[in-house]
Each structure stands twice: as structure tokens, then as C-alpha cells.
Structure 1
Amino acid sequence: MGAVGWACRTDTAGPAEAAAPATEPSGDAEDARAAAALFDGIHGADGPWRPVRPLLLPADDYRRTADLSARAARLMLDAVLRRARTAGELLAALGSRPEAFPLLDHDALLGGHLLAAIRPDILMERGTPRFVELNVDSALGGVLQADLVTDRFLRRYRCAPLPGGPALTAPPSAVEARAEALRSFLALPSGAAVLLPHFRVGNLPGLAEDPARFAAWLAPVFRSARRHGIELFSHPLENLTTDRDGRLRAGGLPVDGVFRSFVSHSQGASPGLTALARAVSTGAVGMFTPEATMLLTNKKTLAWLWEDLDRLPPREREFVTAHIPRTVRLEPTAGGAAPREALTGRSRLVLKPADGFGGRGVVIGAAVSDDTWHAEVERAARQGGHVLQERVEPDRVRLGFVHTSSGEVTDAEVPYVLGPFLYGLRASGMLVRHGTPSAGPVLNAGAGAVMNSVLLVGA
């Protein structure tokens, strides 16, 4: 599996077959800069370097990646169900703080219905997909961005991997797949009013402070929901209320369902969050997805898979060892110190907060000194809630980049992470994060990586 070569030319006049492809990326600097402009407004592609195209992925590899993702999620859920029957039991088994999950129904039963929205983080290592994280939740980032990138390139460019080669296509729309999953999950009738709360913490820059800009950015999401029989609308989270019958209301309007696109414990206390929690706890409103899905994202669930290795059938054991880097819970020794193997294995290990997201708190051992590694591991062992994961040496792909201020065009061999979106365990779009000529080792937009997408090669 891996990315492939590329040729492309801007489509400004005439039918697609009228123009021959031009080589990317550095054969024509003007074409490269025009291509990079298609990332305008894409959060996560607004750093000093912009790519000049999406990643290219063979269609067969895309389908295989989606199949492996669904299989990994099912195995992870099996490991969870061996330890917990309800969301409250899982919260306790993970050692997570109850106050971090204000919308959690502790008595809710766990089951396959929770695998409604998935986006793993996959690094390719010598052509083998390696699942470094399994994100399960409705608040998955990058859905709209991934759709926008592929749509813009297919609308504006005529593309083929090589002259005379197979055409490029987009994966199924993640925005459309999510809308279908939302209505199905909440079992809503046609015309149901579904609230997508405007939230302030964790939102895209400029959207947190302005509900109108938030709604404008999400206009394609609202249109998609309408195509699926849902009247999606937005209202500030902190201003939600409940009426005398306990029904959730947004600006006086009754709410039939809630699309939770935020991490609740990041928002801080407010009357609106309390009202939402009350309506969810009484069953007055359904939520896509319940907060129990956030518990599944905890990286200790990957450690549980490795702890259960001996009890798995051979085929499943082979899957775990091939596709999931060895992950262990970081627990202090009897004296309160970090285990010796954690301190001495710096170059082979990555330290991660078990319930973290966005790359925050991740320490790649090979990228820091012995002293820094020892200090970070000792701190994490005392604090608790961390895992150590086998370091994956990621494959790289050659991409073209344009420097946004100078206009310089260059190539770079960069690592990348694939994030296929699965709604109802079915594949849709794919988020890609990759390095740039100046990005750091953590493949996250906050560390200088670029948010991108894929185009598929072949049928």
C-alpha cells in the first residue's frame, strides 16, 4: 500500500480531453501556486507551507484500509466488553475522571451500536497499515475539510496518475455518510429538528467567537442533513434550556436530537451544558453520539488488546501484532518510579496521554534527549493516565509544496497519517495529515503538519 505518482493540469477552459497533463509539482511554479490556492480556507492547511495536491491512493488500498479499520474497531470493542458492561463500569476500568464526562449515562449498556463514527490514525510502515489510535466519537475533526479538498480538486483540475492512466475519483462523501448515520442512529422521523450546538472551545479559529460564522462554515453540513430528512440548525451551547416537561429547547425551539460535535469537558460549566446533560440523562433527547464513545477512544483500550493477546484466536492475534503497535499502560513501580524498561527504551517508544487528543502531550522518544525522556516518563507515571506505544517508523511520500509568503515551490519527502472516516462501519472520506518542509515530528496541525485528503486511483 502507498501513494502513487501524479500529473495534473488546471481546468480553466474546454472539455477534459482537450488538454494534456502537466508534470507536478515544480515544472510550472505558477500552476503549483494555483493548485495550492485550492486549500484557501482549509483549517490545518493554513501554515507557511501548502501542498499542491491531495495524496493519491489506489482505490483497492482505500477499501482495504477501511476493512482493516472496521476490524480493528470490533477487536477493540471486544476487549472493552471483556472488562465492562456499562458506560459507568468502563469509566471505572479506565480510571477516568467522572467530571470529565458530564454527559455520560453511566447505566447505558455498551455494544456495537457505539461504533457509529470512527476515524483511526494510521501510519504506513513498510507498506503495512499500523493503527496508532482509534478515534471513536461524533466529534471527529476534518470531515468537512476532507470533502472540500477532494471536491475542489476534482472540479478545477483534470487529473490522471500518469498520461493515459486511470482517472482519479473522490471517496464517498464523509459529510453525506455522517448525515445518514446521524438520522439512523437517532431513529428520527423525516423533518426532525436536530441541534448542532455552537461551542467555544476546540472550534476552528474565528468560529468560536461568532455563531454566525460557525453556521456559515457548516452550511454544506446543514444542506446535507436536509437531503437526509433532517432539519439541522445551530444555537449556542451555553444558552440551551429545558422546559417544564424536561424537553431540550434552543432559543425557544424544541429539539428532537443533538449532534454533538464537541468534547464536552473542554467547554466548561454553563447553564446550557447542564440543561443538555439533564435532557440526555432523562432520555428527553437523543445524542449522536453518546459520551460512551469517547471512552472507547482511550488508548488504554489498545493496551487491553495486547494484554489479551494470549486469549485471542490465532487469526485475531496475528492481526493485532501486525497492525497495532505494542501499547502498554504506564504504571509506576512499587516505589512510585517509572518502570526501568520505559526509561531505557527511549528510541523505541512514544509516550501518550491515554485520553488525550490533538497530539497534545505526545512525546516521541527518538526526538528528545535522555534527560527529557526520563523526566517526561517519570512525570507521566506519577500522574497516571498514560500509555507507552511502540514507535512506528512511517513511510514517506514525495509531495510538492508552495511557501505562502515567498511563493517558493519545492518538493519534500514527508511522513503522513491516514484517517479514514467510517460511519456505521462503512467507509467514506479520508482525512490526511502529513509533514511539510518545516514540520515537527508529531503529525498534528498544531505541530506544523498539514490537513489534507485523498483522491483515489482506479475504480
Structure 2
Amino acid sequence: MALHDRWERLSMSDRTAFLARRAAAGRWPYGAQEGWQRGRPWQPMRPLVIAHRDYEALGAVAERLLRLAVDSCRRRATTVGELREVMHDRCPQRLLTPAGPLEHDEVLRVARPDVLVCQGVPKFLELNISAAIYGIPALDRMADAYARLWAGAALTVPAPILAARSALLAALMSRRSGPGRRLLVPTWRSGFGQAAKLGNRRALRAYLRPTVESATSAGLDVVVEDLSRLRTDGHGRLYAGNARVDMVLNWFHTWMITGDSGGVEAIATALAAGTVELFLPETMRLLRSKQVLAWLYEDLDLLSAEDRSLVLSHVPWTAWAGPRQPCEDRDAVVRRALRERERERENLVLKPADEGSGRGVVFGTDLDDHSWRTLVTESARQQTVVVQQRVDSDSVWMPFLDPSSGAQCDLRLPYVLSPFLVGGRICGALVRHAGPDRTGSRVINLGAGAVANTTLLTERTPDHGPSATRRR
């Protein structure tokens, strides 16, 4: 697999006509509710274009790496509670089931790894196995809008993320014993995250409408209700108002919830009674830690030759250090961090293991040896951190539009490609790159001013070779 943007290989006349239609369309609303456009005048005029075969190959690599990540956790813990202890996790987990086993298919229902493409090779910087992944309908709609602007059949949309998630929900519900097939899509109050951005329950309910419609189309009975109106009966069964619930689409962080009037505890009671299931188990939040990538490197000798090659090819070298680590091991990481930063081809980056959105990221080349040693040492005494080989992303030419003025410009920019995996299958993608007004940041993140985009695929070509089988 050599993953490259294929835009410039398309017909010039088709590209010119496409960009003219995109300019005439003006400002697109996709991502406005998520805050992706807040304070950003410029919008991308075209998607990243990937060959269909490369996109599928990326999905196969991602799926295997995710399963290897769970394997690395299972080598260190047999239950969720044990894994939390190994990770020294102290974040409040109100819906965690400490005695629960670590099952691949349960904790890998939805993931959105962050990938930098370096000389055509995908490098996985984070696995993002997490419940609170927003913007799915916006990305699907953006891809559809791009496809409608393209004349002919040369470009197609990836499998829609929302439909894939609803299909997985329906499949999980069909396995439950008894007639229950009712899904709760809750609203909630929070001082952070998507609910806080939208401001009130009415806006959140409107935001959730595509999710409700998609799940209903998949054959599910969906009830939308606020967490504050949840209760359990004497048998531990969960009710939303007067409707009994069998599964909860819990894409909120429980430690951020405010004013739920015992609703989260009602879910916890039903979970303990075995009468309800979370679509996104809270265990997933543990596995999103970048420490898991370091464990993949610690376990290289335990992997098959094929899996070892996969990790070495697609995961930058990563090591972890933290307060629960023996001093000699921590010192070894610090020594490696100093030694490797001296080699120009392997500059290092320090990252908090459990943070996201680029928070706390420090590039080793920005510091002298003494400051770098002090930073790594002191950071590791306070929290779990990882030291990771820096990856320089390939760049693409991207045209931009300022819908307010009609101005256009072209820039060559690095990007982050974040495909979704739902039930182990790749679908959709979030693409992020800088915009014309914010080109200096080395952290390509929406919170740091990056622009949201997505991808289209070149038309599938017949495969005359032997059929490939998905490894498990």
C-alpha cells in the first residue's frame, strides 16, 4: 500500500468544473454545530482523494492494529478493573464494570485512529478508541455534497459512518434474548463537550435527529429522553419516562454530566442487573490511552513476524513513563529520549498518555538537552506520558474558499487522516489540515485551528488476484 492523494491524477477539466461548482455553492454548513467552523473564514474546496484499494488496505491495517492493542492490554490485565489499575487511571468512571472481561468485539465497536501519511506509509499516532466521537452525520453529508459536485462516476463516497453504526446497533440488539429492541438516545447537560457547545437540550435533541432517524431506519425502536428522567424498577430494569430501555447509546463522558438527577446511577443499576447494555462500554476510554501504543513495542518479541512487521511499519516508536513505573525503567526511557533526539531522523515528541486535542504536546527539538531531560523526568513523575518518534506528514495542494468575500487561494499543507472503524470495518473519514489563516501550528487539530474535511474514493477496480481474508 502506498497511500497518496489522487486529486491531481483526475481530469483537469473535471477538476476545474468541480471547483467552479464548489465556489458557486458558497458556505457549507457541515460541522457548524460541532464548532468546526467557529471563527474560521476559510473552507476547503475539495476532498482528499484516495484510491479505493488503498482505503480498504488502510482499514485492514487499522483493524489489525486495534486488535493487537487489545491483546497487549489482555497480557497485562484480565479484567477492566485490573487494566485500570495497571494504567493508574483515576478518572471517575461511573459506568465502568471492573469485573468485566476485555473482549475485542465489545471494546472495538467504534474507533477513529489518527493517521499521518509519511512517504505514502500510514503511521498511527493515536487509536482513539472512545465513546465521545462527534460529527459523524456532518462528515457523511460533506462527502455526499462533494460527490454531487463531481460529474461522472470516477469518484465515490466511502461507506457512510452513520449507517454502519446503526447497522451494528441493530445487530447487537438482535442478539439480546426476549423481544426488547428499544434504544435510548439520551440528552444530557454538561459544562464541556458537544452538549455545552449546543447550549440546551432542545438544540442537542435537534443535533441527535439524524442518529435517531438512522437507527429507526435500521429497525430499532428509539426513545429520546433526558438522563434526568431515567429510573429503574425493583428488578433493575431501566425506564426512560414510561418506556423500558434495552440499550443506551452513551456517547457522553459521565464525569462531565451535571444535573442528571440520578440518571447515570439508574444506568449503573441496570448494568449491574444485566437488564441493559451500553453500546459504547466505558472500558473504551481506557484503551484510547497512548500507553497502549508503547505496549505494542514492549511486546514485539511476542508477536508473529507478520504482526511485528505491521507494528514497526505503521506505529511510530513509542515508549511510556509514569509514576507507577520502576525508577530504572523510567530512567531508561529518559536516556532513550535524549539519545534519539540527537539523531536528526528520529526527533521525538512528548505527549500525555490520556490527553487529546494536542494538549500537552511538546516537540523535543524545541528544547535543549537539559530542558528536555527535565521535562520528561518531571512529567513522568506526575502522570503517565509517552515519548514518540516524530512523524512528518506528506502534504497536499488544497484550494480554499472564503465564502464571505468569494476569495480563493491554494496552499500545500500536511494533513491528518482519521478513518472510522465500526465493528472492525472502515467507513468514512475525518481529514484535518491547516487553513490559510493558521498555517504555523505543528499540531493538526481542530482545537488548534485546523480545518475539517473528508475524503472521496476513486472508483473501485476489479481485483483479479486471490481474494484476501480478514485476519482475526
Q: What is the TM-score when the length of structure 1 is the normalising length? A: 0.87
Cα distance, 1:243–1:304 mapped onto 2, change above 3 Å: same
Q: Secondary structure at the match of 1:244?
A: coil
Whether 1:2 aligns to 2:1 is no
CA distance in 2, matches of 1:258, 1:432: 29
Moved more, 103-112 or 275-284: 275-284
Whether 1:442 aligns to 2:443 is yes
TM-superposition CA deviations, 1:259-311 (whole Å, max 9, x none) = 11122223358422222222222222111121112222111111111001122
**Match for residue 463 of structure 2?**
none
CA distance in 1, matches of 2:60, 2:338: 36
Equivalent in 79, 92, 96 of residue 104 of structure 1: 96
Whether 1:233 aligns to 2:232 is no
CA distance in 2, matches of 1:117, 1:40: 20
* Structural mapping, 1:403-422, within 5 Å: 403=402, 406-422=405-421
**Match for residue 400 of structure 1?**
399
After TM superposition, give the deviation of residue 362 of structure 1 in Å. 2.5
Cα distance, 1:96–1:24 mapped onto 2, change above 3 Å: farther
Contact 1:202/1:262 (CA < 8 Å) preserved in 2? no
**Match for residue 14 of structure 1?**
none
Contact 1:7/1:24 (CA < 8 Å) preserved in 2? no
Equivalent in 193, 202, 209 of residue 219 of structure 1: 209
TM-superposition CA deviations, 1:53-86 (whole Å, max 9, x none) = 2211111111111111111111111111111111
Cα distance, 1:223–1:309 mapped onto 2, change above 3 Å: same
**Match for residue 60 of structure 1?**
53
TM-superposition CA deviations, 1:157-208 (whole Å, max 9, x none) = 1346xxxxx6111011110000111222343577722112223244337654
Moved more, 445-454 or 425-434: 425-434
CA distance in 2, matches of 1:370, 1:48: 40
**Match for residue 181 of structure 2?**
192
Q: Secondary structure at the match of 2:442?
A: coil
**Match for residue 134 of structure 1?**
127
CA distance in 2, matches of 1:424, 1:384: 32
After TM superposition, give the deviation of residue 257 of structure 1 in Å. 1.0
**Match for residue 277 of structure 1?**
268
CA distance in 2, matches of 1:214, 1:119: 22
* Structural mapping, 1:59-458, within 5 Å: 59-97=52-90, 99-114=91-106, 115-155=108-148, 157-159=149-151, 167-186=154-173, 187-188=175-176, 192-199=181-188, 200-204=190-194, 208-267=198-257, 270=260, 271-331=262-322, 334=327, 339-342=334-337, 348-366=347-365, 373=372, 376-403=375-402, 406-437=405-436, 438-439=438-439, 440-458=441-459
CA distance in 2, matches of 1:233, 1:140: 21
CA distance in 1, matches of 2:215, 2:54: 29
After TM superposition, give the deviation of residue 106 of structure 1 in Å. 0.7
Moved more, 74-83 or 366-375: 366-375
TM-superposition CA deviations, 1:112-167 (whole Å, max 9, x none) = 22222121111101100111111223432332221011112223x1346xxxxx61
Q: Secondary structure at the match of 2:59?
A: helix
CA distance in 1, matches of 2:205, 2:41: 27
Structure 1, gaps ≥5 residues long: 10-19, 161-165
Q: What is the TM-score when the length of structure 2 is the normalising length? A: 0.84
1:422 counterpart letter in structure 2: L
1:453 counterpart letter in structure 2: T
After TM superposition, give the deviation of residue 22 of structure 1 in Å. 5.2
TM-superposition CA deviations, 1:21-60 (whole Å, max 9, x none) = 35279x85x8536355364736324423211122111111
Cα distance, 1:217–1:21 mapped onto 2, change above 3 Å: same
Cα RMSD between the aligned structures?
2.9
The percent identity for this pair of structures is 36
Q: Secondary structure at the match of 2:444?
A: coil
Cα distance, 1:7–1:131 mapped onto 2, change above 3 Å: closer
Size of the alignment, in residue pairs? 440
After TM superposition, give the deviation of residue 408 of structure 1 in Å. 2.8
TM-superposition CA deviations, 1:304-332 (whole Å, max 9, x none) = 11001122222111111110011111246
